[in-house]
Structure 1
Amino acid sequence: MNNDGPDFGLRALRAFHAIVKTGSVTAAATAMGLTQPAVSRLLAQFEQTIGFDLFYRDKGRLVPTPDGLLLFDEADLALGTMERVRALARDIADFQVGQLRLVAPPSFAEGVLPDVIDRFLSRFPKVHLTIDSRSVETSKTLIATRAVDGGFLKLPLDRPDLTSVPVANSGTVCVLPIGHPLAARSWLDPLSLKGVPLVLLGLGRLSRSHIDAAFARAGVRPEVRVETHTIGSACALATRGIGVAIVNEMLARSYLGNRLLMRPFRPDLRHEYAFVTSAMVAPPRLALEFLSDAKHYFAQQPKDVLDETAGSPV
């Protein structure tokens, strides 16, 4: 025996609801876009399925029974909920609602993502966006466990539980104030920076190890005046003449202003960023839309200054 009660279709429930609401089968048929016989059949099947009459038949008129009115109240609530679900589904499909949670390194979030966010939110103004900055390993774990929907990380990842799409590739530059003695050079290397006060990003980063290795190969000990952890602070220190900052070119551009300039650092040390999502599931649609806007942004960015300079250092 089925203890779940009668099994009736949604169309039959809609037909019953429309008849009570409009007052007649004819009006209900018009509202539903059906023929009058079709609505009559739906009502008859509905009453047969539930096992009791919903209307008194009085000379061709349908008058709801007390049982019918009781059922109508619940049907009205249920169909209203269904319509709200359908409306929400339409909004989700059209990106009119939703939430996107991302992580990105602080300098990346501050230096380049505002333009990407502006483009994204202009397309999807009702989407709630969260951008968080965590350590590299924490960010990887958040993405892999789907605590966030995705994020931007430097390659390589060395994690089989993450999927990456490269989005940006940048060189390394020296940022120095206008009028600095080394500003006349087309590019700088460890030999030209021997004895020059430097501002470097903190120890422990892969990019920092590459810079240290370049100085070691040249037999030069870097004169580190300040170690910091964001490109914004490194450029601010360079503005004040505290030292030449050796940083990621792409992220440094937004901090140059009119008091700083940059020169390529050689050897050419690259910084490659990717949009990263969990390898366990397909990325959310909103994450893919954000990725699309990021690709568009980075495709419009200028070339590395290394590509724009001649081969001579002076």
Structure 2
Amino acid sequence: MNYTLRQLRVFLAVAAHGSFSRAADAVGLTQPAVSRGVQELEEALGVRLLDRTTREVVLTDAGMALVPALERLLGQLDDTLEETRQLGERYRGRVVIASAPTISARLMPMYVAACAHEYPEIRLFIRDNVQADGLEQIRAGAVDFGVLIDPMARDGLTIADLATDPFCFVCRRDHPLAGAETVPWSALHGERLALLDFASGSRPLIDRILARHGVTPHVVQELGHSASVFGMVEAGIGASVLPSFSLPLPAASPLVSRPLVPREERSIVMVRREDRSLSPAAAAVWNMIQNLPIPAEAMAA
């Protein structure tokens, strides 16, 4: 028996509307196409389903018997196909994101929580590494994408802006600049500074900003993590310039932070390989992060 799903739906439309022309409008076909579809179905079944007159279309006994069974079966088919479609839209799998330490502390908990709520079948993992390692993992395909500081070398990468993060001055409370509401960059000329090292995405930016303001500090220590910098500053070895995402300062420490003026900031971006498509799950997380508003408290220094 040779019949098509379209022929069955056309027959039900004619039965429901009692007219070939009205059925044609309902299913978006021409009247000859509807008439031909019903005729082909009748030939395949070997039985007449409709009696046609010049004024009306009437179901035969066979047609009347077929309609309720066909409605039930096609309804079940539609339900099954809809369930299958929804299943295909459920994102699942493993997504790995490279993230710099300060971003991991300030933004990634929010993104992980949002992903767990919106896509419970996606397992989201964070690779918490310095900027240089994060970029290497992205280029090697070891992670799906990264949330990092805007890299200076963008070749082969797709970049999407996410947030900005201003730099601040960190010192002990007994430092001469601790009492100022803001600290000008020019005041750092000759200042003893403990800074992040060049594996950090912030250090090249800091050096460029200092040079742009004509400032040459005395760099006494270069360290991999903000926590290590805080320890050096607390010990009196020097002050520091850090991104605001490094805050808050350690509890009960003798340290203070002050905004640097004029405001200079780093850009937080999403980064992925230009020549590699994201999996459906990774694409869903990428879009979620890009569209998720960042609360003011996450940005507060």
TM-score range, shorter chain: 0.5 to 0.7
Name the CA shift for 1:160/1:194 in 2 (closer, same or farther; >3 Å): closer
- Is the aligned partner of 1:171 residue 2:130? no
1:253: which partner in 2?
247
Q: Which amino acid is 1:181 matched to?
A: P
Alignment of 1:3-18 (within 5 A): none
Deviation at 1:234, TM superposition (A): 1.8
Q: Which runs of 5+ in 2 are unaligned?
A: 1-43, 45-79
The counterpart of 2:258, out of the listed 260, 263, 274, is: 263
Alignment of 1:1-314 (within 5 A): 93-95=89-91, 97-134=92-129, 136=131, 139-144=134-139, 146-203=141-198, 207-216=202-211, 220-249=215-244, 251-255=245-249, 257=251, 259=253, 260-291=255-286, 292-293=288-289, 295-298=291-294, 300-301=296-297
**1:16-47: CA deviation from partner (whole Å, max 9, x where unpaired):** xxxxxxxxxxxxxxxxxxxxxxxxx9xxxxxx
Q: Which runs of 5+ in 1 are unaligned?
A: 1-40, 42-82, 306-314
Deviation at 1:88, TM superposition (A): 9.8
Name the CA shift for 1:209/1:118 in 2 (closer, same or farther; >3 Å): same
1:35: which partner in 2?
none
Deviation at 1:185, TM superposition (A): 1.0
| Structure-1 separation of matches of 2:294 and 2:168 | 18
RMSD of Structure 2 on Structure 1 (CA): 3.9
Deviation at 1:282, TM superposition (A): 4.0
Contact 1:116 1:293 in 2 (8 A): yes
Contact 2:116 2:122 in 1 (8 A): yes
How many residues in Structure 1 have an aligned counterpart in Structure 2?
225
Q: Which amino acid is 1:211 matched to?
A: I
**1:87-145: CA deviation from partner (whole Å, max 9, x where unpaired):** 998656323x3110111123322343123222322333442222224564553354345
**1:239-283: CA deviation from partner (whole Å, max 9, x where unpaired):** 44443220111x222445454432122453321121112222443
Deviation at 1:151, TM superposition (A): 0.8
| Structure-2 separation of matches of 1:219 and 1:279 | 37
Name the CA shift for 1:109/1:302 in 2 (closer, same or farther; >3 Å): closer
Identical aligned residues as a percent? 22
TM-score, normalised with respect to structure 1: 0.57
| Structure-1 separation of matches of 2:281 and 2:101 | 22
Deviation at 1:293, TM superposition (A): 3.6
Contact 1:201 1:230 in 2 (8 A): yes
